[in-house]
């Protein structure tokens, strides 16, 4: 088992290059299945979610060749439409994109229900509604396998999403790219990674317009071809490092970013008292650590609202800001499991359903904690880097799902963090 050992209480200074976007990569990799040919994907983040997705593709006969750490060549010429093994799929929420991609290419798919972070009930009814509207029949077996088939082929249709869903929007785009007629997705999600998937599919020869607005039109084409494509920078990775610099104080610049994607985050950091400076592809956060941050209220919403994937990181900021801050989770039912861990570090916070109230304290203190999920784990790293003393974080495999080279990147701006391997027995002893 691996742990992070972190000693906090220092300001951070320097710059951090931002990797490719996890959630764009996890849509784009399965999208390569829609062609029979070779795609070269660049700026691919080297994280465990991406490696898992590549393993799943390889299990289907797709040939993967790493060109360097962040670029792969994916040859889908010999893809077999075989059921994807549950053991591989359960690790990855984004495995649901295999359904849309396989349905689009082969007219049928069999994929186990997805895993991923546990934020409470995460239905895929809107994905299913979309596939059915295009003419597929969908069955979920007792063993939790989603079987989708379009015996008479798929035909474009108008689909109104009852909830704004990133996953359903991307999955319907995948299923619709190669079929007859036009598909219109209304009340579509508008996240940057939706635009990136549309741009990738269009580079492969698709005809998609409106991505980034709430009405997306997909005009089916007969064939898609291989291409070279570079993934956008990760909005959440960048946002996490910006929030971290505001929390510890100091001055950190994230480089290789699209500042527009970070506006909802930087606006809130500025409201809390941090100084923000935007360049063409950089954003800098500066804060004097001797002055406390100001309290704020915040609600997570679909893009361009404040992202739910930055909610735990702001929980940490609120736990140290002066006064009472109110945080409302607008997307998921159960995304506050990190609050218990923060309390162990001295935070004063209560949770009632989707609302958390933080009475800011002057300082957090070190404590042994565990990462309950990916972004909550990143938030606990932030808390540990602010706390007096040395914090040990367990269950860090969640964090490695989404942050490339996090230890090296943090050290480069002056953080005291190291990764240690401990024998499993020792972990059990501590847990008791």
Nearer to ligand UD1, 168 or 382 (CB): 168
- Closer by beta carbon to ligand UD1, 111 or else 321: 111
Of residues 321 through 360, those in contact with ligand UD1 by CB under 6 A are 331-332
Nearer to ligand UD1, 101 or 387 (CB): 101
CB of 225 to ligand UD1, least distance (A): 25
- Which one among 167, 239, 315, 346 touches ligand UD1, defined by CB under 6 A? 167
Q: Which of residues 292-321 bind ligand UD1 (CB under 6 A)?
A: 307-309
Instruction: Decide whether 189 or 384 has the Cβ nearer to ligand UD1.
Output: 189
Q: How far apart are CA 158 and CA 166, in angstroms?
A: 17
Asked about 117 being catalytic, the answer comes back as: yes
Among 28, 53, 94, 298, binds ligand UD1 (CB under 6 A): 94
Number of residues that bind ligand UD1 (CB under 6 A): 21
Residue from the set 3, 19, 23, 319 that interacts with ligand UD1 by CB under 6 A: 23
- DSSP assigned state of 305: S
N-to-C CA span, the chain: 16
Give the H/E segment covering residue 381. Answer: helix 374-386
Q: Which of 16, 20, 41, 93 binds ligand UD1 (CB under 6 A)?
A: 93
| Contacting ligand UD1 within 199-258 (CB under 6 A) | none
Least distance between ligand UD1 and beta carbon 184 (Å): 18
For 107-154, where are the alpha helices, taking DSSP H only? 125-133
Q: Which stretch binds ligand UD1 (CB under 6 A): 122-130, 225-233, 265-273, 279-287?
A: 122-130
* Window 144 to 163, contacts with ligand UD1 (CB under 6 A): 163
Residue 140 is a binding residue for ligand UD1 (CB under 6 A): no
Residue located via tokens 């108008």: 158
Minimal distance, residue 171 CB to ligand UD1, in Å: 9
CB 345 within 8 A of CB 387: yes
127 touching ligand UD1, by CB under 6 A: yes
Pair 62, 55: CB distance under 8 Å:
no
Report the nearest approach of ligand UD1 to the CB of residue 353 (Å): 14
**How far, in Å, CA of 187 to CA of 162, rounded?**
8
DSSP H helices, 140-295, are: 166-176, 192-203, 235-248, 263-271
Rounded CA gap, 147 and 142, in Å? 11
Stretch that binds ligand UD1, among 32-40, 123-131, 207-215, 257-265 (CB under 6 A): 123-131
How far CA 287 is from CA of 18, 169, 238, 318, in Å, comes to 21, 38, 17, 15
From the candidates 35, 117, 227, 386, give the one annotated as an active-site residue.
117
Dist. CA 296–CA 93, nearest whole Å: 32
Instruction: Pick from 165, 202, 235, 325 the residue near ligand UD1 by CB under 6 A.
Output: 165
CB of 329 to ligand UD1, least distance (A): 10
The answer to whether 322 and 271 have CB atoms below 8 angstroms apart is: no
Query: Minimum CB separation from ligand UD1 for residue 390, in Å?
Result: 30
Helices (H), 225-328: 235-248, 263-271, 311-320
| Residue 125 touching ligand UD1 (CB under 6 A) | yes
Q: Are strands 63-68 and 108-112 parallel, antiparallel or unpaired?
A: unpaired
The length of the chain, given as a count of residues: 432
Should residue 86 be labelled a site residue for ligand UD1 when binding is judged by CB under 6 A?
Answer: no
**Minimum CB distance to ligand UD1, residue 68 (Å):** 24
Minimum distance from residue 161 beta carbon to ligand UD1 (Å): 8
Question: Nearer to ligand UD1 by C-beta: 125 or 277?
Answer: 125
Residue 166 in contact with ligand UD1, rule: CB under 6 A: yes
How would you classify the pairing of strands 2-7 and 207-209? unpaired
- Which of 43, 126, 284, 313 forms a contact with ligand UD1 (CB under 6 A)? 126
Cα–Cα distance, 430 to 380 (Å, whole number): 19
How many angstroms separate the CA atoms of 12 and 21, rounded? 24
Strand partners, 160: 186
Minimum distance of ligand UD1 from residue 146's CB (angstroms): 12
| CB closer to ligand UD1 out of 125 and 275 | 125
317 neighbors 294 (Cβ within 8 angstroms): no
| Of 100-108, 119-127, 220-228, 254-262: span binding ligand UD1 (CB under 6 A) | 119-127
The DSSP string of 306-361 is B-GGGHHHHHHHHHHSBSEEEEE-SS-SS--THHHHHHHTT-EEEEETTEEEEE--
For 381, the token pair is 């790293």
Catalytic site positions: 117
Q: Which residues are near ligand UD1 by CB under 6 A?
A: 23, 26, 93-94, 122-127, 163, 165-168, 189, 307-309, 331-332
């Amino acid at each position: 088992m691996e742990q992070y050992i972190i000693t906090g209480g220092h300001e951070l200074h320097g710059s951090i290059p931002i990797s490719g976007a996890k959630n764009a990569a996890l849509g784009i990799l399965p999208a390569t299945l829609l062609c029979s040919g070779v795609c070269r994907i660049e700026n691919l983040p080297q994280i465990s979610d991406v490696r898992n997705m590549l393993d799943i593709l390889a299990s289907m006969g797709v040939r993967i060749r790493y060109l360097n750490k962040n670029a792969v060549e994916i040859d889908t010429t010999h893809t077999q439409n075989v059921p994807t093994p549950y053991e591989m799929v359960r690790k990855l929420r984004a495995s649901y994109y295999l359904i849309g991609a396989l349905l689009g290419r082969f007219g049928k798919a069999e994929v186990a229900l997805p895993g991923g972070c546990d934020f409470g009930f995460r239905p895929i009814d809107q994905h299913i509604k979309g596939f059915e509207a295009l003419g597929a029949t969908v069955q979920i077996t007792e063993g939790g396998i989603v079987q989708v088939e379009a015996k008479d082929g798929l035909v474009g249709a108008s689909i109104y999403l009852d909830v704004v869903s990133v996953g359903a929007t991307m999955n319907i785009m995948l299923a619709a790219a190669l079929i007859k007629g036009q598909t219109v997705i209304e009340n579509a999600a508008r996240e940057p990674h939706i635009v990136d998937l549309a741009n990738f599919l269009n580079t492969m020869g698709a005809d998609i317009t409106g991505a980034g607005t709430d009405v997306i039109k997909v005009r089916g084409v007969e064939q898609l071809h291989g291409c070279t494509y570079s993934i956008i920078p990760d909005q959440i990775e960048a946002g996490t490092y910006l929030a971290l610099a505001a929390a510890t104080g100091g001055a950190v610049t994230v480089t290789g970013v699209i500042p527009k994607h970070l506006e909802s985050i930087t606006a809130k950091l500025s409201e809390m008292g941090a100084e923000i400076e935007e360049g063409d592809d950089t954003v800098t956060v500066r804060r004097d650590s001797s002055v406390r941050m100001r309290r704020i209220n915040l609600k997570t919403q679909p893009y361009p609202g404040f992202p739910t994937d930055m909610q735990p990181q702001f929980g940490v900021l609120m736990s140290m800001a002066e006064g009472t801050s109110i945080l409302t989770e607008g997307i998921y039912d159960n995304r506050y499991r990190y609050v218990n861990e923060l309390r162990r570090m001295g935070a004063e916070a209560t949770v009632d359903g989707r609302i958390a109230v933080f009475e800011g304290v002057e300082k957090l203190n070190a404590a042994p904690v565990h990462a309950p999920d990916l972004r909550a784990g990143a938030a606990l790293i932030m808390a540990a880097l602010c706390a007096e003393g040395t914090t040990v974080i367990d269950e860090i495999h969640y964090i490695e799902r989404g942050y490339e080279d996090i230890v090296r990147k943090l050290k480069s701006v002056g953080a005291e963090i190291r990764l240690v391997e401990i024998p499993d027995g020792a972990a059990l002893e501590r847990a008791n």
